[in-house]
Amino acid sequence: MVHAGPRSENLPPASPASEPDPSLVARLRAAGCVFAEDEALLLAAAVEGRADAASELERLVTRRVAGGPLEQVLGWAEFAGLRIVVEPGVFVPRRRTELLAAEAGRLASAVAGRPAVVVDLCCGAGAIGAAVVAAVEGAGGRVVLVAADIDPNAVRAARRNLEPLGALVVEGDLFDPLPADVRGRVDVLAVNAPYVPTAEIAMMPPEARDHEAHVALDGGDDGLDVHRRVAASAAEWLAPGGHLLVETSRGQAARTTAAVEAGGLETRVLRDDELDATVVVGRC
């Protein structure tokens, strides 16, 4: 059974087909898909023009009604107006993270006279990095982007999204794989690290807990283990005046802020009620 998961809020825009196939809509609705009509259009568009369209559509629909996240079934997610490649098992970017991405893009765009050095840490499929590059280049600037993740599947997806943009994508634990020549030079360190308490993962929607790598979800006993590790080391990687941005939850914001301040950074908190988004910003 498919349940309305965290990605129903950022359903990709449907293809402009006239009407979805009623039988396909019925199958999706019976499986619990809240946006069955839109999903039917997207799935049909994904196979349009293929010689094996009928069999491929059946394969995709079978995966979806079995509970696979729509974005993983389609192979892409919409994020900040961009199409981001996602693969099975890889964390699907959430709409709430657009708050962090927008602020990271604004800060990187403000770097004058040289390319902004940006690190997308715990990058997943690289959605934040891609959005920052789009924002900075759209403002006439340039970016040196490095993205890192510990999950090899995420790194593979991030390379598909970011290497065409000139980014370096590396695999490893937090700061360990970053090139030494960006130490002390990072203008924007954007971090969407896992922040779900371990005990709460079992209560997450099946689309997340059963189809995304737990390393992208599990933040330890109180959800903030990775935040503390990032905050403890961020200052040595940031340029003077550089910024750390960490996505967190409203209920965890005070503790994330305390960790960032303990790392020696000045803090402020951004919130967007419409996106249900909270970001702690630290300045070196």
The domain limits of the chain are: 6-74, 95-283
pLDDT in tens, 151-182: 999 999 999 999 999 999 999 999 999 999 99
pTM over 0.75: yes
CATH class of 95-283: alpha beta
Taking CA atoms, 202 is separated from 71, 98, 209, 214, in Å, by 21, 26, 7, 11
Q: Residue ranges of the chain with pLDDT lower than 70?
A: 1-18
Q: Residues 32-58: pLDDT tens digits?
A: 999 999 999 999 999 998 889 898 999
